[in-house]
Amino acid sequence: MAKANAVKAKPTAKAKQKTSAKPKTKPTQTSAKPKAKPAAETPVEGLPFPFIGAGDASYFEWAEIHVYFTRDLKPAEKTKITKSVPPPIDDVQWKGRHCWASSEQGVGRQIQAAYSKPRKQPTSLTTQSRFKMPDSGKLSAFNADTERWLLEAHDLVPILAVYRRQDWEAGGTRLSAWHTQSLPLARAVLKQLKPAKGDALEYMVRGIKSELEAK
Protein backbone atom coordinates (compact mmCIF):
# COMPACT_ATOMS: atom_id res chain seq x y z
CA MET A 1 0.00 0.00 0.00
CA ALA A 2 1.25 3.55 -0.70
CA LYS A 3 1.93 6.24 1.88
CA ALA A 4 -0.45 9.20 2.02
CA ASN A 5 0.78 11.04 -1.10
CA ALA A 6 3.70 12.35 0.92
CA VAL A 7 7.16 12.86 -0.50
CA LYS A 8 8.26 9.35 0.48
CA ALA A 9 6.72 6.18 -0.89
CA LYS A 10 5.66 4.08 2.03
CA PRO A 11 2.31 2.86 3.30
CA THR A 12 0.51 4.50 6.13
CA ALA A 13 -0.53 2.79 9.30
CA LYS A 14 -2.44 4.67 11.41
CA ALA A 15 -0.28 7.80 14.68
CA LYS A 16 2.86 8.98 24.46
CA GLN A 17 5.18 9.22 28.11
CA LYS A 18 3.32 6.84 30.37
CA THR A 19 -0.44 6.70 30.57
CA SER A 20 -0.30 8.07 34.10
CA ALA A 21 1.07 11.31 32.68
CA LYS A 22 -1.81 11.98 30.30
CA PRO A 23 -3.13 15.54 30.30
CA LYS A 24 -6.46 15.91 32.02
CA THR A 25 -8.16 17.25 28.91
CA LYS A 26 -8.63 13.89 27.22
CA PRO A 27 -12.36 13.42 26.54
CA THR A 28 -14.45 10.88 28.38
CA GLN A 29 -17.45 8.93 27.19
CA THR A 30 -20.77 10.74 27.53
CA SER A 31 -24.24 9.67 26.56
CA ALA A 32 -25.13 13.00 24.97
CA LYS A 33 -24.22 13.53 21.32
CA PRO A 34 -22.27 16.73 20.61
CA LYS A 35 -23.65 19.32 18.21
CA ALA A 36 -21.59 20.05 15.12
CA LYS A 37 -19.97 23.49 15.06
CA PRO A 38 -16.78 24.92 13.56
CA ALA A 39 -13.91 22.76 14.75
CA ALA A 40 -11.68 25.75 15.50
CA GLU A 41 -13.85 26.35 18.57
CA THR A 42 -14.02 24.06 21.58
CA PRO A 43 -16.90 21.97 20.22
CA VAL A 44 -17.65 19.56 23.05
CA GLU A 45 -17.02 19.87 26.74
CA GLY A 46 -13.81 17.98 27.49
CA LEU A 47 -12.91 17.60 23.80
CA PRO A 48 -9.80 19.66 22.95
CA PHE A 49 -10.08 19.12 19.17
CA PRO A 50 -11.52 16.51 16.80
CA PHE A 51 -9.36 13.38 16.58
CA ILE A 52 -10.70 10.99 13.97
CA GLY A 53 -9.14 7.60 14.61
CA ALA A 54 -8.47 8.15 18.32
CA GLY A 55 -8.20 5.08 20.50
CA ASP A 56 -6.04 2.04 21.10
CA ALA A 57 -4.38 1.73 17.68
CA SER A 58 -2.45 -1.25 16.36
CA TYR A 59 0.20 -1.00 13.64
CA PHE A 60 1.45 -3.49 11.07
CA GLU A 61 4.49 -2.10 9.23
CA TRP A 62 4.05 1.67 9.48
CA ALA A 63 2.56 4.39 11.67
CA GLU A 64 1.46 7.83 10.53
CA ILE A 65 -0.69 10.66 11.89
CA HIS A 66 -1.95 13.88 10.31
CA VAL A 67 -2.41 17.14 12.21
CA TYR A 68 -3.90 20.39 10.90
CA PHE A 69 -3.57 23.61 12.90
CA THR A 70 -5.94 26.58 13.06
CA ARG A 71 -3.30 29.15 12.12
CA ASP A 72 0.08 29.48 10.46
CA LEU A 73 2.94 28.44 12.71
CA LYS A 74 6.13 30.30 13.47
CA PRO A 75 9.39 28.46 12.72
CA ALA A 76 10.15 28.14 16.43
CA GLU A 77 6.72 26.56 17.05
CA LYS A 78 7.26 24.02 14.28
CA THR A 79 10.66 23.18 15.69
CA LYS A 80 9.31 22.64 19.21
CA ILE A 81 6.48 20.41 17.97
CA THR A 82 8.84 18.42 15.77
CA LYS A 83 11.37 17.85 18.54
CA SER A 84 8.75 16.54 21.00
CA VAL A 85 7.23 13.91 18.67
CA PRO A 86 7.30 10.30 19.96
CA PRO A 87 10.46 8.57 18.64
CA PRO A 88 8.73 5.91 16.50
CA ILE A 89 7.12 8.63 14.33
CA ASP A 90 9.96 11.13 14.22
CA ASP A 91 9.86 11.62 10.44
CA VAL A 92 7.93 14.91 10.62
CA GLN A 93 6.97 16.91 7.53
CA TRP A 94 5.19 20.23 7.14
CA LYS A 95 3.23 22.00 4.46
CA GLY A 96 1.69 25.21 5.75
CA ARG A 97 -0.61 24.37 8.66
CA HIS A 98 -0.53 20.66 7.87
CA CYS A 99 1.88 18.40 9.74
CA TRP A 100 2.25 14.66 9.31
CA ALA A 101 4.50 12.40 11.37
CA SER A 102 5.42 8.91 10.25
CA SER A 103 7.65 5.96 11.09
CA GLU A 104 10.23 3.97 9.23
CA GLN A 105 9.27 0.53 8.00
CA GLY A 106 8.94 -1.98 10.82
CA VAL A 107 7.38 0.35 13.37
CA GLY A 108 6.81 -2.50 15.82
CA ARG A 109 10.55 -2.93 16.43
CA GLN A 110 10.85 0.84 16.93
CA ILE A 111 8.03 0.92 19.48
CA GLN A 112 9.54 -2.06 21.30
CA ALA A 113 12.91 -0.31 21.57
CA ALA A 114 11.66 3.21 22.38
CA TYR A 115 9.50 2.10 25.32
CA SER A 116 11.90 -0.42 26.83
CA LYS A 117 13.59 0.43 30.15
CA PRO A 118 16.22 1.56 29.54
CA ARG A 119 15.46 2.76 26.04
CA LYS A 120 17.19 0.68 23.37
CA GLN A 121 18.18 1.04 19.74
CA PRO A 122 15.74 -0.66 17.33
CA THR A 123 16.82 -3.97 15.88
CA SER A 124 17.93 -3.94 12.26
CA LEU A 125 15.24 -4.09 9.61
CA THR A 126 14.91 -7.61 8.26
CA THR A 127 12.22 -9.63 6.53
CA GLN A 128 11.06 -10.80 9.97
CA SER A 129 11.53 -7.62 12.04
CA ARG A 130 9.49 -5.47 9.65
CA PHE A 131 6.39 -7.33 10.90
CA LYS A 132 7.28 -7.39 14.60
CA MET A 133 4.41 -6.69 16.96
CA PRO A 134 5.44 -4.79 20.12
CA ASP A 135 4.45 -5.91 23.61
CA SER A 136 0.95 -4.72 24.46
CA GLY A 137 2.23 -2.49 27.28
CA LYS A 138 4.73 -0.79 25.01
CA LEU A 139 2.09 -0.33 22.31
CA SER A 140 -0.23 1.32 24.85
CA ALA A 141 2.63 3.55 26.01
CA PHE A 142 3.24 4.68 22.42
CA ASN A 143 -0.46 5.45 21.87
CA ALA A 144 -0.56 7.41 25.14
CA ASP A 145 2.61 9.26 24.15
CA THR A 146 1.06 10.19 20.82
CA GLU A 147 -1.93 11.75 22.58
CA ARG A 148 0.42 13.54 24.99
CA TRP A 149 2.29 15.01 22.01
CA LEU A 150 -0.93 16.16 20.34
CA LEU A 151 -2.26 17.83 23.48
CA GLU A 152 1.04 19.61 24.12
CA ALA A 153 1.12 20.80 20.50
CA HIS A 154 -2.47 22.04 20.91
CA ASP A 155 -1.43 24.04 23.97
CA LEU A 156 1.23 25.70 21.84
CA VAL A 157 -0.81 26.23 18.66
CA PRO A 158 -4.52 25.30 18.50
CA ILE A 159 -5.22 22.17 16.46
CA LEU A 160 -8.14 22.15 14.02
CA ALA A 161 -8.24 18.36 13.66
CA VAL A 162 -6.20 15.15 13.75
CA TYR A 163 -6.61 12.05 11.57
CA ARG A 164 -5.09 8.60 12.06
CA ARG A 165 -5.97 5.77 9.70
CA GLN A 166 -7.09 2.44 11.08
CA ASP A 167 -4.62 -0.26 10.07
CA TRP A 168 -6.82 -3.23 9.31
CA GLU A 169 -3.83 -5.50 8.65
CA ALA A 170 -2.98 -5.08 12.34
CA GLY A 171 -6.59 -5.45 13.51
CA GLY A 172 -7.68 -1.82 13.30
CA THR A 173 -8.15 0.59 16.21
CA ARG A 174 -10.24 0.09 19.32
CA LEU A 175 -11.89 3.47 18.88
CA SER A 176 -12.36 5.67 21.91
CA ALA A 177 -14.95 8.25 22.99
CA TRP A 178 -12.64 10.90 21.55
CA HIS A 179 -13.16 9.45 18.08
CA THR A 180 -16.91 8.99 18.56
CA GLN A 181 -17.40 12.55 19.78
CA SER A 182 -15.27 13.88 16.93
CA LEU A 183 -17.34 12.41 14.09
CA PRO A 184 -20.23 14.93 14.36
CA LEU A 185 -17.61 17.67 13.92
CA ALA A 186 -15.90 16.11 10.93
CA ARG A 187 -18.02 17.79 8.25
CA ALA A 188 -17.24 21.21 9.72
CA VAL A 189 -13.55 20.27 9.63
CA LEU A 190 -13.74 19.18 5.99
CA LYS A 191 -15.14 22.57 4.98
CA GLN A 192 -11.96 24.19 6.29
CA LEU A 193 -9.50 21.82 4.61
CA LYS A 194 -8.59 22.84 1.07
CA PRO A 195 -6.06 20.35 -0.29
CA ALA A 196 -4.24 20.76 -3.56
CA LYS A 197 -4.55 17.79 -5.88
CA GLY A 198 -1.99 15.15 -5.04
CA ASP A 199 -0.70 16.54 -1.73
CA ALA A 200 -0.73 14.85 1.67
CA LEU A 201 -3.67 16.91 2.92
CA GLU A 202 -5.80 15.26 0.25
CA TYR A 203 -5.11 11.93 1.96
CA MET A 204 -6.27 13.34 5.30
CA VAL A 205 -9.50 14.57 3.70
CA ARG A 206 -10.18 11.20 2.06
CA GLY A 207 -9.54 9.41 5.33
CA ILE A 208 -11.96 11.58 7.31
CA LYS A 209 -14.63 11.08 4.65
CA SER A 210 -14.09 7.33 4.84
CA GLU A 211 -14.67 7.32 8.60
CA LEU A 212 -17.85 9.34 8.13
CA GLU A 213 -19.14 6.81 5.60
CA ALA A 214 -18.33 3.94 7.95
CA LYS A 215 -20.15 5.27 11.00
Terminal C-alpha separation, the chain: 24
Collapse the DSSP code of 91 into the 3-class scheme (helix H, G, I; strand E, B; otherwise coil) and give the result.
Answer: strand
Torsion of CA 208, 178, 73, 192, to 10 degrees: 40
pTM: 0.77
For each of the chain's 215 residues, which pLDDT tens digit applies? 444 443 333 444 444 444 444 444 455 544 444 443 333 333 456 799 999 999 999 998 889 999 999 999 999 999 999 999 999 999 999 999 999 999 998 898 989 989 998 888 877 878 877 878 888 899 999 999 999 999 999 999 999 999 999 999 888 999 999 999 999 999 999 999 999 988 999 999 999 999 999 87
